[in-house]
């Protein structure tokens, strides 16, 4: 495994809409998944999107209670009307924080690293992380929608 270099804002890679991964191609990304997990942990992140390591594909890594999990082609299928504000940062925007409004609860469908279709329900911080990371796949950064954006 290796720790990958992070793409730092501003960079066009962070602004592109990333492409879906064909299900039959998921197995080709085993090493990338391992490296992204290691990179996220090494940088003390709780989420990491593939564009942040220079790959415009729809893959995110999210820290869960069971450790880091890979989500390919994640899609939010349902979300609570209830939203809440919370502070966010981003490994691609070092030292910058701000408050972002996110849905409190979401339902997400995705494929895991073994190309199995999965569903998950998340709320609170986990829901926030997934929404932040999926935004990355659409070229959106938290500073685009946040308030009180500030340097730490």
Annotated catalytic residues are 133
> Which stretch, 31-39, 60-68, 87-95, 96-104, contacts Co ion (CB under 5 A)?
87-95
Give the nearest distance from C-beta 51 to Co ion in angstroms: 9
* CB closer to Co ion out of 111 and 142: 142
CA distance 58 to 106: 18
Give the nearest distance from C-beta 132 to Co ion in angstroms: 6
Among 90, 100, 122, 127, binds Co ion (CB under 5 A): 90
Residues 6+ apart with CB under 8 A from 59: 21, 29, 32, 33, 36, 49, 50, 70, 71, 72
Q: List the structure tokens of 86.
A: 């919370």
Q: List the structure tokens of 106.
A: 């979401």
The residue with its CB nearest to Co ion is 90
Question: Which residues of this chain interact with Co ion, rule CB under 5 A?
Answer: 90
């Amino acid at each position: 495994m290796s720790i990958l270099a992070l793409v730092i804002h501003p960079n066009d890679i962070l602004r592109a809409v990333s492409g879906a991964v064909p299900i039959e191609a998921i197995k080709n990304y085993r090493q990338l998944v391992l490296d992204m997990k290691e990179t996220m942990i090494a940088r003390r992140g709780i989420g990491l999107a593939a564009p942040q390591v220079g790959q415009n594909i729809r893959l995110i890594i999210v820290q869960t209670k069971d450790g880091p999990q890979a989500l390919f082609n994640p899609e939010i299928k349902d979300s609570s009307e209830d939203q809440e504000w919370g502070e966010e940062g981003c490994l691609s925007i070092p030292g910058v924080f701000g408050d972002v409004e996110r849905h409190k609860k979401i339902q997400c469908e995705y494929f895991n690293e073994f190309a199995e279709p999965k569903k998950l329900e998340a709320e609170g911080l986990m829901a926030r992380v997934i929404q932040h990371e999926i935004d990355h796949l659409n070229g959106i950064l938290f500073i685009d929608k946040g308030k009180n954006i500030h340097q730490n």
